[in-house]
Amino acid sequence: MTDAGYMSRALQLARRGLYSTSPNPRVGCVLVNNGTIVGEGWHQKAGEGHAEVNALRAAGDRARGATAYVTLEPCSHFGRTPPCAQGLIDAGITRVVGAIRDPNPLVAGRGYQMLRDAGIDVTEACLTDEAEAINVGFMQRMRTGLPYVRAKLAHSLDGRTAMASGESQWITGPQARRDVQRLRARSCVIITGVDSVLIDDPSMTVRPAETGIEQPSHLWRQPLRVVIDSRNRLPATAKLLQQAGDILVATLKEPEQPPQRPANSGALRYWQAPASNSGQVDLTALLRYLAEQGHNEVLVESGARLAGAFAAQQQLNELVLYCAPTLLGSDARPLLQLNFSQMQQQLRWQWQDVRMVGNDLRLTLTPEHNPTAAKEA
């Protein structure tokens, strides 16, 4: 098998961490000795063994003289765990093939250099695009200080997302809704606006049984739920307050008496945001704050106004649209609220993926101003 073949296997292993590793990257490792795979590993959860550690443990003495295929540059610093580069050196690995450099300033080439200094042959950039796609959020956060932001919207054939009253359940079918559960599961944060809470009263949680994903129960986590609520209208009766998991409310001024949550349901925190020019929560400041907290991927699930604000401010890296074969009529609410009056204001997007999900069509697009595409991981 070629280097690309072994790296493909390492990437398969990395994908197993798609729903559990944040804030850490998803990483896989394959150890090969004399043409035989002697050890495999993947990073399962922050604070637990990295992919290289797990692969070395599986290989034991067979790791000596082996080649390691790693989907991300081995770390060179002490974090929650010792540096993986040193672990590969100590195990007697003689060659390392890496997919992509780690943009983390604590690593950023130092891991590869540590290996080279120890006399290990290092080959870089094997299946780089595929490795980038798996960790698109981590890569963006490390390079720009902002998370990767997706907006998910369900709409009709005539481009409508809700009736004039705000009623929107359900436009799409059960298969599309299950697909959305998977989008939530891979996200670190789910953002919505208080208007959506008041109209739809959503839970905004990951429901493992509905994802169709099989993984150990201890690897499931609930994304941080963020409600943008400039004027503190979040009601104490909101369903999301009753569901387990932490909640952050982004507001312009903290309320004197915040809503109460049931015991042991999770934290409720308020973050006082700077105001934008329009007197609303500054979305860029919010995203930067979330990145500083270690969040890689953000999913925006909201109505047309908030989703339109993210798009107009060029803070969306990806649109995931579920188009249902139905018509809601001209009085229904639009896909995105964008107050444009001239053609030159249009925002152009690029197709990345089109596929059927049940009887609905899933469209994935990225903006032309930010051509980095999150290919199907």
Catalytic residues: 52
Cα–Cα distances (Å) from 5 to 32, 56, 62, 98, 332, in that order, read 11, 20, 20, 13, 50
Strand 333-334 relative to strand 160-162, pairing:
antiparallel
DSSP class of residue 238 equals -
CB atoms within 10 A of CB 325: 11
Report how far residue 104's alpha carbon sits from residue 7's, in angstroms, rounded to the nearest whole number: 21
Residue 343 CB contacts under 8 Å (≥ 6 apart), including other chains: none
Q: Is the peptide bond before 259 cis (omega within 30 degrees of 0)?
A: no
Are 154 and 176 in contact by the 8 Å Cβ rule? The answer is: yes
CB atoms within 10 A of CB 252: 17
Secondary structure class of 239 (helix, strand, coil): helix
**337 alpha carbon, distance to own chain's centre:** 24
| Backbone φ/ψ region at 117: left (φ over 0), alpha (ψ -120 to 50), beta | alpha
Q: Is the peptide bond before 220 cis (omega within 30 degrees of 0)?
A: no
Report how far residue 76's alpha carbon sits from residue 99's, in angstroms, rounded to the nearest whole number: 16
**14 alpha carbon, distance to own chain's centre:** 14
